[in-house]
Chain A
Amino acid sequence: DGGITQSPKYLFRKEGQNVTLSCEQNLNHDAMYWYRQDPGQGLRLIYYSQIVNDFQKGDIAEGYSVSREKKESFPLTVTSAQKNPTAFYLCASSIGDRSEQYFGPGTRLTVT
C-alpha cells in the first residue's frame, strides 16, 4: 500500500532535548512538507522540500531543522531552541509543488 508514515505517534521529551520526527513516503512524490497544528489554529508550514537535497523555510522555521537526502524521507528535528515545541506535527507530500497534498498520520509531541 502506498502512503505516508510518521513515527512515533506519540513522543514525550524533556525541555532542552532535541528530538527527530520521522516521515517516509512511498508515493514517489517529489515535494514534501512539515506542518504543525495547535489547538484552535490552522496548520502552519515549518519547512518544505521540492526536490532531493533541497529544502526551504516555511512560515515558522525557527527552532527546527530538516534534511532531504532521499526522495522518500524528510525527517524533522525539533531543537531546544524551539520555544513552544508541544504540538501535533504533520508531514505531507505532493506529486509536484502545485498539486494536492496528502498527509501522514501525525506525531503528537509533548515537551515538559
Chain B
Amino acid sequence: RKEVEQDPGPFNVPEGATVAFNCTYSNSASQSFFWYRQDCRKEPKLLMSVYSSGNEDGRFTAQLNRASQYISLLIRDSKLSDSATYLCVVNGDTGFQKLVFGTGTRLLVSP
C-alpha cells in the first residue's frame, strides 16, 4: 500500500462548481498534513496546512479525519485559475519532518 494515495483524476468541472478531493495515508503516527498546488512544469506551492479542527482559507476548506486516515480538500466556486494538480502531503515520521508526497489529483476547470 502506498503511504499517500490520491485519485489522479482528472476532475473536469465547470467554472463555479464545487469540487472535493480526498487523500488517504497509511502512517497512523503522522502529525502534519498539507495540500500543495502544482502547475504544469512548475514547483509545488503550499496551499494550506491541515489542522485537526479543519481549516478554511477563502474558497478552500481542508479537513482531517484521523480515525479513517484521510484528508480532504474542498474548492468552492471554482475558477479557471484553479486548474492545477493538487498534492496531498503527509509527514512520515514523528521525528524529522520527512514529507511524503502523493502523486497528485489533476483538476481542470472549464468556462
Chain A interface (Cβ < 8 Å from any Cβ of B): 31, 35, 40-43, 45, 48, 50, 56, 58, 88, 90, 94, 96-106, 108
Contacts and interface: CB of A to CB of B under 8 A. Distances in A.
B43 A104 contact: yes
A36 B55 CA distance: 30
Contacts of A105: 42-43
Interface of B: 4, 32, 34, 41-46, 49, 87, 91, 96-104
A12 to B, nearest CB: 16
A40 to B, nearest CB: 7
Contacts of A104: 43
A29 to B, nearest CB: 12
A103 B45 contact: yes
A105 B45 CA distance: 10
A103 B34 contact: no
B43 A103 contact: yes
Contacts of A100: 34, 46, 49
Contact of A90 (B4, B44, B96, B97): B44
A96 B103 CA distance: 25
A42 B42 contact: no
A105 B41 CA distance: 9
